[in-house]
Structures are given as structure tokens and as C-alpha cells.
Amino acid sequence: MDIGPSAYARCELCPRRCGARRLEGMPGLCGATATLRAARSALHHWEEPPISGEGGSGAIFFSGCPLRCVFCQNHEISQEGFGLEVSASRLARMMLELQERGALNINLVTALHFVPHVREAIGLAREAGLALPIVCNTSGYERPELVDELSDLVDVWLTDFKYASPGLAARLSAARDYPEVAAAALRQMLGALRAHGGRRLAEDGSMQAGIIVRHLVLPGEVADSCAVLDLVWELCGNEVDLSVMNQYTPNSRCLAKGGDLARALTDEEYEEVLDHADDLGFEQLWWQQGGTVSESFVPAFDATGVDGPDLGDTRR
């Protein structure tokens, strides 16, 4: 699979395979052209403990997304295009700046529709002294061929598995094929992890290699959540960490639609899904305490840490 700059010519990087001429300025279904855009680069303390630890994860949030989730908390960047133009060299410098600030890892959030830039930037940063693990923070809606191409660059896959039902995936993310795509991508991630020796933690508990599968429990959709956990268990068993999240917060679109998506998740719904995870046998299970439903989990997308010098530029 081509993941060099020419991949933008007729883009097929994501499962949409929309063929957009991004090099000519035509945006793909992800909303992006061949111009790399990022919305924030900062220490992030709200990931799972093996990712954030005490010091924080070095999170870089990218603009655009192949999915169109109606409940997206990051809609300013995923669907509305907020972000500043950056070069691959500047992206590499951002990674090194995060390392200097004490980040545990470099956490690339929804980045793979820019994979030609990302691959170049990681290479430049490594040559300049980057020594942190690379975390690929993804919706799970990725081509397995792309996962394979990145297996030597990505150390930790922090991946969503949103739906088991194609109908629910179509209704909420405009991606009926999400379950089969996410399963194929996760299978490829697991194969890559096995090839590199499996899950590995540092002495401080931070993840150096591994997979964390995230699932956000949606109000009124407990049965689908349990079906997602069944799929993950069947595919991976205890070779992955499972993170079951209860931080669903209705956005304005969900409030306008009404129904279950206009309300918060109940404690009973969340506990039912956690109980199912326990029954399946997940040993590396992360969950959230009550009262965590809050927009405070969404950082300010104000271009913090994005603007600045490129790699090798000595200007301050």
C-alpha cells in the first residue's frame, strides 16, 4: 500500500477510499486536503493510566476524520476543520518539544488520514533524538493494510471499537461497514504486537508496547456494547487492555435529535457492560468512576503548541 506523498493524488488511505485528489486541493470525505493541519499539541492527562501516567501523554490532535459520529465531542476539529497548517518538519519539532516537557509518549490523535506526513515526521524526529513510544490514537476505522505499513512505527495502538451493529454504525457514524473494518484492523494490530514481542510496560507502569481497545457505552445501546465486548474477546482475549468508558456527554446535535442520545448514560447501564466484561474474563480492564461525564475531558482546541519553528530552525 502506498503511504508516501503520492497517496494523496487519488486518496484511498482510509476505508472510504473516496479517491479525492487531495494534492490538487480537493478534500476527501475526511475533510482534509494534502495540507497537514493540527489543532493542539500539549500534555494530556485524561487517557488511560498506562498512557497518561503522572506526567501526561504528549497528545497531538489532527484536523479531520473519516467518520461522521453524531455524538462527537471533538467536532470542532473532526468535522468543522479547525486547525493550523503545519509541515512534517514542524510536526517532528512538536514531538521533540513534548519530549522535552516530560511526555510519556507521543500520542497521535486521529492522524492516519495524514499518514504520509506522519511517517516522515516520525522519521525526522527519531533522527533528531525522539526516544518515546508512538501511540496511534484511532477511531478503529482503518484499513488493515495501512496498519500493517505502520507496524514498525507504532508502539501502542489506542483504538476504539465503537459498534457491533452495522445499522447502528450507519445511523450514528455514516459507516455501515465499521464493525467489519474495525475487526480487521484490530486483528492486524494484534498480529503486529505479537510480532514485536507483545505487551510491554516500563517500571513506572507506562505502556511501551501494547493495544488498548476503547469502547464508549452509549445510552440505550447496552446490548450493542456487550456485543462489541464479545467481538473483542473473541479476537484478542487477554492480549489487549480493554477500556470501557462512561464519559458520553450529549452535544447540541444529540440534544436536538432527542431520544436516548439526548440523555446521559445511567449507572445501571454502565455497570451492566462492566459486569459483562468481567464475565468474559478481561483481566486488564480500565473503567471510569461515577461523575466523570463532563466536557472537561475535551481539551481546548485553540492551537496550543502548534505554531512554532520547524526542525532545525534555531529561531525562538
Q: How do residues 166-205 score in pLDDT, each as one tens digit?
A: 999 999 999 999 999 999 999 999 999 999 999 999 999 9
Classify residue 20: in a domain, yes or no.
Answer: no
Asked if residues 218 and 160 have their Cβ atoms less than 8 Å apart, the reply is no
Give per-residue pLDDT as tens, 290-309. 655 444 456 778 889 999 99
pLDDT value of position 312: 79
- Tally Cβ neighbours within 10 Å of residue 297: 14
Is the residue at 10 inside a domain? Answer: no
So what's the pLDDT on residue 294? 47
Q: Is 274 helix (H, G, I), strand (E, B) or coil?
A: helix
Q: How far is CA 209 from the centre of its chain?
A: 16
Is 86 domain-assigned? yes
- For residue 211, what is its C-alpha cell? 493495544
Does some domain include residue 306? Answer: no
How many domains is the chain partitioned into structurally? 1
Domain of residue 250, CATH code: 3.20.20.70
Q: Does residue 291 form part of some domain?
A: yes
- Structure confidence by residue, pLDDT tens digits, 241-257: 999 999 999 998 899 98
Q: What pTM did the predictor assign?
A: 0.95
Whether 5 is in a domain gets the answer: no
Domain that holds residue 53: 35-297
pLDDT in tens, 1-36: 999 999 999 999 999 999 999 999 999 999 999 999
Task: Classify residue 164: in a domain, yes or no.
Answer: yes
**Residue 272 maps to a domain:** yes
Q: Average the pLDDT over 267-274 and give the result.
A: 97
Q: What is the mean pLDDT of the chain?
A: 94
Q: What is the pLDDT of residues 223-241, one digit of tens each?
A: 999 999 999 999 999 999 9
* Per-residue confidence (pLDDT) for residue 314, from 0 to 100: 53
pLDDT digits (tens, 9 = 90+) for 90-110: 999 999 999 999 999 999 999
Question: d(Cα 116, Cα 120) in Å, to the nearest integer?
Answer: 6
How would residue 310 be classed by pLDDT, with cut points 50, 70 and 90? very high
β-strand partners of 134: 106
Q: Residue 83: which of 41, 122, 50 has the closest Cα?
A: 41
Q: What is the pLDDT of residue 316?
A: 42
What residues are paired with 211 via a beta bridge? 157
Whose cell is 487517557? That residue is 47
- In what helix (H) or strand (E) does residue 3 lie, and over which residues does it extend? none
**Which residues are registered as beta bridge partners of 41?**
60
